[in-house]
Amino acid sequence: MKSPAGLKHGDTEHEVYVEPIFTAETRHLQKRFDILSNVITPEESLALKAFIESKIPESSDSTYSQEVVLPYRPDEWDELGVVQKIQDLAKAHILKTYAVVGQLEPRKFMVIRTDNVQTYGETYGSYNQNGEILYTAVVTPSSPTDYYSGETLYGVNGEGFHPNSCDMVVQRNEELNSWEIVEVLTGVRFDLIVVFQEIDRTISYDYIINQDDICEDF
């Protein structure tokens, strides 16, 4: 459903598709991905596309997308501030929507190139599997006319679409949101993927050390 009043970031307006917004009592329920429209301008989209292509300039014969994980601090490489803008908007949306406990910190910045009949996918279990609560934001600066096939497909609910080059998909990493990029038959699809981790700093990790277990050399 549409938010009655789209969020604003600078001079860019975008609508937020959110259903539902969780509370502390309902946050354990599964929630489908959200699409935030026009989070970046066409000029910023072109700049992001050029940046990703500069990191992965050539095709490969791999079955899967080529991936490059970027350094943890965007201020070291995000000269135009586009990735920082995307990170800020995604973080704000997650905090508003998911009743986050504690703090939300970026965990990974990754760019991928998908072409030459390649595919990409992420499969999740429960949202708090292994004690981790992760969220993912994806921006695809490639225009849908840049490639053939290669749509984003959510296998559990059967939704498939070609992302708009200025939109962002935001989701919590849980089974309902397992997704893939269908094989890109011609052309090239570029994506930026930002992963966030929910960190509850109120949890104490202190524990009692049994002195008998300590090696005498220490």
Q: pTM of this prediction?
A: 0.84
Angle at 107 between CA 6 and CA 88, to 5 degrees: 25
Is 206 within a domain? Answer: no
Query: Does pLDDT of 17 surpass 80?
Result: no
Is 110 within a domain? Answer: yes
Is 102 within a domain? Answer: yes
Is 138 within a domain? Answer: yes
Is 35 within a domain? Answer: yes
What is the C-alpha separation between 17 and 3, in angstroms, rounded? 6
* Dihedral sign, Cα of residue 106, residue 107, residue 113, residue 117: negative
> Torsions phi, psi of 22, nearest 5?
-85, 155
The structural domain count of the chain equals 1
What is the C-alpha separation between 102 and 132, in angstroms, rounded? 13
Is 45 within a domain? Answer: yes
> Mean pLDDT, the chain, as a whole number?
86
Is 95 within a domain? Answer: yes
Residue 96 domain boundaries? 7-200
Is 207 within a domain? Answer: no
> Torsions phi, psi of 213, nearest 5?
-90, -5
- Beta bridge mates, 199: 103
pLDDT digits (tens, 9 = 90+) for 115-174: 999 999 999 999 998 889 999 999 999 999 999 999 999 999 888 999 999 999 999 999
Domain with 17 in it: what CATH number?
A: 2.60.120.620
Query: Does pLDDT of 11 surpass 50?
Result: no
Query: Does pLDDT of 203 surpass 90?
Result: no
